[in-house]
Amino acid sequence: QAEEFGRFVSKLKNTNEPEGEGNMLDNTFAMHGSASSSFHLSRNYPIISAGGKNLGFANGRYLNYVGFREDGSLPGAGVISDAGWRSQVAEEEPPLAKLFVSILQRLGVETDSFAGYTGTLARV
């Protein structure tokens, strides 16, 4: 699926924008992710975004909204047993809905909530 997303993004980048300047990727925001992370959790989602330069999006960077543990590892990273997902969440993890609110607002949709959550994510 990630390969298909890469091909899609490449096609957008290699297609001139018919009604404006730049390419279609500059005027399109695309996002690819999984419906769950390790062990089908709704935590620590890996999400890739591309495009949207002319819409105000800045990509090409890694954003971590959870923080690192004291040993330098990411929460949920490298989980090889169910201990990680059965435990309580130690860090306050922002809900994925805040990402969607941030994206919707950037695209001009007047909303402050999505799926029952309010607020946005900084740096999107």
Are 62 and 18 part of one and the same domain?
yes
- pLDDT, residue 73, reads 63
Are 76 and 122 part of one and the same domain?
no
Q: How far is 95 from 116, CA to CA, in rounded Å?
A: 10
Total structural domains in the chain? Answer: 2
Are 19 and 51 part of one and the same domain?
yes
- Per-residue pLDDT tens, the chain, 124 aa: give them: 889 999 999 999 999 998 878 899 999 999 998 766 655 556 667 789 999 999 999 988 888 777 666 666 665 554 444 555 455 555 567 788 899 999 999 999 999 999 999 999 888 8
The domain of 27 spans 2-93
Are 110 and 50 part of one and the same domain?
no
Are 52 and 65 part of one and the same domain?
yes
Are 27 and 37 part of one and the same domain?
yes
Q: What angle do CA 16, 104, 9 make, to 5 degrees?
A: 30
Are 100 and 119 part of one and the same domain?
yes
Q: How far is 64 from 89, CA to CA, in rounded Å?
A: 16
- pLDDT, residue 79, reads 47
- pLDDT, residue 65, reads 74
